[in-house]
């Protein structure tokens, strides 16, 4: 099943955050660009706002949008869960951060809400729609249940690894798309693959404190991927995973590296490059093949002792 893109979803090609093949994170031509932060000036009325290192980087426009969106939280939660008469006042935990709709002045809550606002160009109305959609999806998908689910180690155990941190404290996750050559086992049940992929993302997010760090670095390793890997099920999984991560996991990417990419797949990057915003493009890098070539690029972001030897570092890794 392929989900239709919205105004802020990729124009084409699946987002590689969730895709088992290298569809790059493509932003439609009319998508908003990220802008450099302009923090509030000294003397502006933010002294009543709980602060942490991340909220201190919010711009004046972001604070204004946040205050508007936050004031609508009771109604937003009520609309998201119409069958729950107390939804507008009951606390809700998202990514380990408890959001109280009626008492939402909390620095970590501000960081989480800002992710949705930035994904919708600080438009409170569009942000509300995205937020409600995410809350409903998490309930229908049973994300909490997926995080507790036991997935076959022989099928998924080698596909995703979390190891080390970059120079700014971002956890680094590795997606090894060619680690299991049994494509039928991996994608034979598309919904099972999606539940595993969401659980892996949630496991990575659990390492974020939303005080100093709220994003991750992703390494997408295509060693061992071949044309025969592209089955109908794998393409469906790529499409659905892309839609999930684009729609319900906003602003979690710090940097993304594509490594060991076969030559027959590199054309995708060059084809879609004109459609990718400068801000998004600056987060993505297509690297060469082999530890030396990969390490020469990655060590500028990830310390050698945090980078596995297979990627040019000195850590034992996995």
The band of 306, judged by pLDDT with boundaries at 50, 70 and 90, is very high
Residue 141, SS3?
A: helix
pTM strictly above 0.75: yes
Task: Spell 94-119 as b/e; 16+ CB within 10 A means b.
Answer: bbebebbbeebebbbbbbbbbbbbbb
Residue 180, SS3?
A: coil
Task: Tell me the two tokens of residue 309.
Answer: 């030897």
Which contacts of 75-78 are long-range, i.e. CB under 8 A and separated by 24 or more positions? 76/101, 76/128, 76/131, 76/132, 77/101, 77/135
Cα angle vertex 61, ends 66, 42, to 5°?
100
Specify burial of residue 85 (Cβ count, 10 A radius: 0-12, 13-18, 19+).
exposed
Residue 94, SS3?
A: strand
Assess contact for 225 and 180: CB atoms under 8 A: no
The band of 144, judged by pLDDT with boundaries at 50, 70 and 90, is very high
Query: What mean pLDDT comes out for the span 238-252?
Result: 93
**Residue 207 or residue 264, greater confidence:** 207
Across the chain, mean pLDDT equals: 86
* DSSP one-letter code for 33: P
- Cα–Cα distance for residue pair 101/75, rounded to 1 Å: 9
- Quote the pLDDT of residue 9: 36
pLDDT at 31 over 70: no
Beta-strand relationship, 171-176 and 284-286: unpaired
- Cα–Cα distance for residue pair 7/25, rounded to 1 Å: 14
Task: Tell me the two tokens of residue 214.
Answer: 């709220």
The owner of tokens 């998924």 is: 156
In this predicted model, what pLDDT tens digit does every residue of 278-298 receive, in sequence order? 777 788 899 989 999 999 999
- Quote the pLDDT of residue 20: 40
- Cα–Cα distance for residue pair 97/93, rounded to 1 Å: 5
In this predicted model, what pLDDT tens digit does every residue of 44-65 receive, in sequence order? 455 589 999 999 999 999 999 9
């Amino acid at each position: 099943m392929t989900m239709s893109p919205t105004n802020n979803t990729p124009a084409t090609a699946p987002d590689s955050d969730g895709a088992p093949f290298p569809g790059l994170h493509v932003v439609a031509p009319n998508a908003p660009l990220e802008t450099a932060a302009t923090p509030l000036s000294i003397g502006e009325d933010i002294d009543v706002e709980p602060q942490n290192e991340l909220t201190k980087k919010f711009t004046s426009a972001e604070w204004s949008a946040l205050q508007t969106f936050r004031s609508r939280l009771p109604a937003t939660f009520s609309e998201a869960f119409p069958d729950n008469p107390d939804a507008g006042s009951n606390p809700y935990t998202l990514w380990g951060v408890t959001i109280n709709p009626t008492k939402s002045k909390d620095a970590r809550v501000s960081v989480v809400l800002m992710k949705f606002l930035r994904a919708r160009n600080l438009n409170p109305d569009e942000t509300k729609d995205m937020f409600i959609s995410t809350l409903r999806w998490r309930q229908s998908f049973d994300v909490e249940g997926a995080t507790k689910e036991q997935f076959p180690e022989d099928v998924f155990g080698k596909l995703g690894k979390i190891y080390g941190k970059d120079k700014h404290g971002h956890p680094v996750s590795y997606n090894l798309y060619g680690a299991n050559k049994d494509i039928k086992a991996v994608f034979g049940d598309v919904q099972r693959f999606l539940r595993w992929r969401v659980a892996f993302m949630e496991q990575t997010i659990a390492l974020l404190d939303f005080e100093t760090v709220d994003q991750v670095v992703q390494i997408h390793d295509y060693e061992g991927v071949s044309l025969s890997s592209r089955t109908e099920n794998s393409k469906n999984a790529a499409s659905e995973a892309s839609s999930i991560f684009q729609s319900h996991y906003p602003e979690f990417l710090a940097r993304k590296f594509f490594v060991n990419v076969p030559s027959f797949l590199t054309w995708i990057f060059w084809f879609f490059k004109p459609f990718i915003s400068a801000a998004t493009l600056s987060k993505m890098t297509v690297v060469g093949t082999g530890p030396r070539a990969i390490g020469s690029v990655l060590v500028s972001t990830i310390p050698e002792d945090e980078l596995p030897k297979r990627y040019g570092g000195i850590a034992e890794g996995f």
